[in-house]
Copies of this chain bind each other. A is one copy, B any other.
Amino acid sequence: MKKIVISTGGGDAPGLNAVIYAVVMSAQARGWEVYGSRGGYKGLIDPQEMMPLTPKIVEDITSLGGTILGSTNKGNPFAMPVKNLAGEMQIVDISDLIMKNFNRMGFSCHIAVGGDGSLDIARRFYEEKGMPVVGVPKTIDNDLFATQLTFGFDTAVSTATEAIDKLHSTAKSHDRVMVVEVMGRESGWIALNSGISGGADVILIPEIPFDMDSVRQKIEDNELHGKHYAIVVVAEGATAKDSGVVCRDNQCEVGRQEVLLGGIGDWVAKEVRRITEKDTRSLVLGHLQRGGSPTTFDRLLALRFGAAAVRMVDEGLFGHMVALVNGEMQKVTLEEATRRRKKVDLNDDKILTAREIGICLGD
């Protein structure tokens, strides 16, 4: 009989609850017990934050957004900011406390669901403290290198595409340029996929620094062909070539000079308005992309990941993460899993497709 603790860490992603469901059901089929640690590792600090997970409790959670294990961003146990008695913030390492509690509570292993931050912490528990860990990848941006896809991404792309669809009719009815900023700090997957699917005119991604002149050109071409509106999709991490503008934390600067309160999407909108004199609006999708019920695709993927994680526990494959490789469940070491980010490859056929169907990529 094994006793598993599962945690979910980092930003939330649609499908987390489906992973939990599959872990609980697969464990139950083997006669094992599962507990959920609320708030990342909090359940391993305070027993009140540890909840037993039974088939009854998880019965209807597969299609729910968020995570029943509650808030996820609770810091790094190896470097946790806490207030001391004097009220000052201190950084402490509570990993030994957590490991002690893990053993005292009688857990056999830990299934850690998270992005590269959380998986790296899990790796340290495995390597430095000897905790038997299996990882499950979670990244809404699809930027983990070791897995072809992760749950949450299809939902985020669908949400963004639906938004672009909605903006089409209003852009067309009012001869407007609509600029939509979507997630993607390091990589342009969400922008690229939703932009192609949604019929954007321009897609700007971090992998291709853009030139406002190309954007202007595309909008003018539209006009020439009798299309008096345009949709511009901008990944939050896109950067303007030769402009000197840097956007961070909802603020754009040139040099140390603030030029705009807002993100890169707002800056692009401002520039389009200035250059083309067209009525231009911007919209930041933000947290809409993380929320909501997972798509069918993401539900299935998350359930497969959850079941595969328990299978790996059964086979004693600790220190690994489940991954989707060539459409199949595979394992990679936690070390490999977190080593590097997956960027949009400029030879990817999606890039070709975008260009060929007439989308401007800003270069």
Contacts and interface: CB of A to CB of B under 8 A. Distances in A.
Interface of A: 11-12, 14, 21-22, 25-26, 28-29, 55-56, 59-60, 62-67, 70-73, 148, 154, 157-159, 161-163, 165-175, 178, 193-194, 196-197, 199, 225-228, 260-262, 281, 283-284, 286-288, 290-292, 295-297, 299-300, 303-304, 306-308, 310-311, 326-329, 349-350, 352-353, 355-358
Contacts of A308: 349, 353
16 contacts: A11-B173, A22-B353, A22-B356, A25-B358, A60-B64, A66-B168, A70-B173, A148-B327, A154-B296, A157-B297, A166-B291, A295-B297, A304-B349, A307-B352, A311-B352, A326-B327
A357 B297 contact: no
B283 A174 contact: no
A126 B197 CA distance: 32
A350 B287 contact: no
A287 B179 CA distance: 11
Contact of A166 (B22, B65, B261): B65
Given A64-B169, A283-B288, 4 more contacts: A11-B170, A22-B353, A62-B197, A165-B291
Given A29-B357, A166-B65, A328 B303 contact: no
Count this chain's copies in the assembly. Answer: 4
A358 to B, nearest CB: 5
Contacts of A65: 166, 168-170
A225 B59 CA distance: 12
Contacts of A306: 357
Given A352-B311, A353-B303, A356-B29, A290 B170 contact: yes
A286 to B, nearest CB: 5
Given A168-B66, A283-B287, A174 B303 contact: no
Given A29-B358, A299-B161, A11 B291 contact: no
A47 to B, nearest CB: 17
Contacts of A226: 56
A303 B357 contact: yes
Nearest to A329: B349
B291 A228 contact: no
A11 B66 contact: no
A173 B292 contact: no
A12 B169 contact: yes
Contacts of A284: 283-284
